[in-house]
Amino acid sequence: MSVILREAGLGDEHRLAAVGAATFLESYAGTLSGDDILTHCDTQHAATLYEDWLIGGEVRMWLAEAAEGRAPVGYVVMSPPDLPPANILPGDVEIRRIYVLHRFHGERVGWSLITTALDAARRTGRKRALVGVYGKNDSAIAFYKRVGFKVIGERKFRVGTTVHDDLILALDI
């Protein structure tokens, strides 16, 4: 299926929220507590959060849409780092989120999204990209390693009422 990438802007917050909640539920149902997932989606994938990011000017997002019908199928969020300070260097940028609906895995949508964000980071003089990922999300970790990221640390990450162990990965760009 053909997918179109474009930079997200005001008016896309509901598209981003829908994909974020759907992919989070899709990825973690059966792994994390259902109540924790729903609480996380209500707060961390609220349309108002994406709207705030779009208005704030420091966060950039790219949206992947199915060419036929233009339904949102994935996105990537690039922002100033929001990770433990010990892992951050001057010139760093964070790939804060990258989500693709499961049905579109294997279609290189994730690869297109991350290379778009990394190219934009390079053009703005960023030197290194960071990403935090759930330590038991083997498929996401494998994806980042294929891109060239390497583990540089760990952090604690709250989903609902539960704290989980995340890995922090970095890629010189």
Q: pLDDT of the chain along its 173 residues, tens only? A: 799 999 999 999 999 999 999 999 999 999 999 999 999 999 999 999 999 999 998 999 999 999 999 999 999 999 999 999 988 999 999 999 999 999 999 899 999 999 999 999 999 999 999 999 999 999 999 999 999 999 999 999 999 888 999 999 999 99
Which CATH number belongs to the domain containing residue 154 in this structure?
A: 3.40.630.30
Place of tokens 């604690």: 156
3-class SS of residue 166: strand
Helices (H), the chain: 13-28, 34-44, 47-56, 109-123, 138-147
Number of domains present in the structure of the chain: 1
- Containing structural domain, residue 142: 3-172
DSSP lists the bridge partners of residue 60 as: 78
Q: What is the Cα Rg of the chain in Å?
A: 15
Instruction: Give me the pLDDT at residue 95, please.
Output: 98
Both structure tokens of 149: 């990221």
DSSP lists the bridge partners of residue 170 as: 130, 150
Q: Tell me which of 28, 50, 99, 144 is the catalytic residue.
A: 144
Instruction: Give me the pLDDT at residue 129, please.
Output: 98
Which run of H or of E encompasses 159?
strand 150-159
pTM value?
A: 0.94
Instruction: Give me the pLDDT at residue 1, please.
Output: 78
Name every residue whose Cβ is closer than 8 Å to that of residue 12 and which is 6 or more positions away in sequence. 50, 54, 61, 63, 72
Instruction: Give me the pLDDT at residue 127, please.
Output: 97
Sign of the dihedral through C-alpha 134, 137, 140, 141: positive
Is there a catalytic annotation at residue 144? Answer: yes
